[in-house]
Amino acid sequence: MPYYKWQGVDIHAHAKTGWLYADSISSLSHQLFQKEVALTSARIVKIWHLKKPKLDTKIAIAGRAATLLQAGLPLPAVFALLAENSKGRSTKSVLSEASFLLSAGASLHEVTKRYALFDNALVGLSEISASTGNIAYAFEHTYHYLQARKRLKSSVWAAMLTPLITLILFLVLFTAMIVFIVPQFESVYKTFNGTLPPVTLQIVALSNAIRDIDFWISVSTCTCILIIFFLCLSRWAQVVIDHVLLSVPGVGRMVRAYYYSFFLLSVGQLLNAGLSLHNSLEAAQSLVKNRVLKKHSLYLIEQIEHGVPLHTAMSHKGSWDLDVIALIVVGYESGALSTMMLQSSQLYNDSLSKQLNRLVVLTQPCLLVVLGVLIGYCVYALYAPLFSLGTLV
């Protein structure tokens, strides 16, 4: 959709300017007319500079919209009010355009699907919530889901922060030593006209390669080729990456726990809201980003349509934990499927937390050992010629 920078005059003869999404100039003029602004000029601007919506922005929009809808405000008025209180230029434009489209008769699903500002959870829930008449729940559920996703992401970053800082500091120090210190040692050793040990020659060759402009040209060329390759084959590349992540020992289990936790949490909450199992699964599958696991969730929906019990479909495909399948069986037999879904989600959440803690406990000492070996190798390579220096003097 085109993004316009417009200029106009309001009813008090004051000049106005701003930015808005609109299908055409006439649509833009109609939107401004509703705001009592007469359009005088407009031009399409590129939106490459606009930032991707932050998770905190999506959380704020979902939470405020849920509160306003529960207070009884109509949906177009909710988006108009959110636009007035938004600070970001792009966010304000999207919300204003959404309010206009909803006032013109567009459905919430059509509107949320058009813009990246709205999370996929809301896009999937909006279509189902419209049929049930409980639109506020779509925003409320999206709000809680995004909050849970933010907490989990924060825990992941907190767990990986120390190893990442250690690795970055080592790379900086190692690069500084290779670029600045090794050449000094090389110039000193050359004055003695002696034969350097092979280990020292390796470090010197690495230093010369890094300081050579041709090396960086080659690295930049290969990087550009890889980026272009993945952009041209983005869908295929994403599938390959998803398969690789699931195949890596330890990492694959954490990826499954991450997505299955949100999937089961959404299904459980939607069942509590009164949706059928099929509709709950249909809405929750949009939250699964991994292409391989998404196929597993779609397989569950297909089996449910054919009358196969959920726990039976889970046992056939998807690498679901046996404890989770057992809870689903109990939920079917007791009539408390939503409660068992939420407990299953908590099981995956607890499993992910334990695996992250275990990963940090193992990664930190292993990383220190590897870095220590590399530093020791470099120091030995630099000082090895000193052992034979006495014979050359």
- 393 pLDDT above the threshold of 60: no
Q: What is the pLDDT of residues 192-214, one digit of tens each?
A: 776 778 888 888 888 888 777 77
Show Cβ contacts of residue 162 under 8 Å, excluding neighbours closer than 6 positions.
360, 364
Q: What is the pLDDT of residues 366-383, one digit of tens each?
A: 888 888 888 888 888 888
In the chain, domain spans: 3-44, 55-147, 149-393
3-state secondary structure of 27: helix
DSSP H helices in 115-233? 120-132, 135-176, 182-190, 198-211, 213-232
- So what's the pLDDT on residue 132? 64
Residue 2: what are its φ and ψ, rounded to 5°? -60, 150
DSSP codes of every residue in 257-317: HHHHHHHHHHHHHHHHTT--HHHHHHHHGGG---HHHHHHHHHHHHHHHTT--HHHHHHHS
- So what's the pLDDT on residue 362? 81
The two structure tokens encoding residue 227? 């980026």
What confidence category does residue 365 fall into, taking pLDDT thresholds of 50, 70 and 90? confident
What confidence category does residue 163 fall into, taking pLDDT thresholds of 50, 70 and 90? confident
Please tell me the pTM assigned to this model. Answer: 0.67
- CA 177 to chain CA centroid, Å, is 35
Containing 243, the helix (H) or strand (E) segment is: helix 234-247
Amino acid letter at 89?
Answer: R
Most confidently modeled range among 68-77, 177-186, 355-364: 68-77
Q: What is the pLDDT of residues 253-286, one digit of tens each?
A: 888 888 898 888 888 877 887 778 888 888 788 7
Calculate the average pLDDT of the chain: 81
Q: Is 2.40.128.20 the CATH classification of the domain at 55-147?
A: no
Measure the CA–CA gap between 127 and 5, rounded to whole angstroms: 32
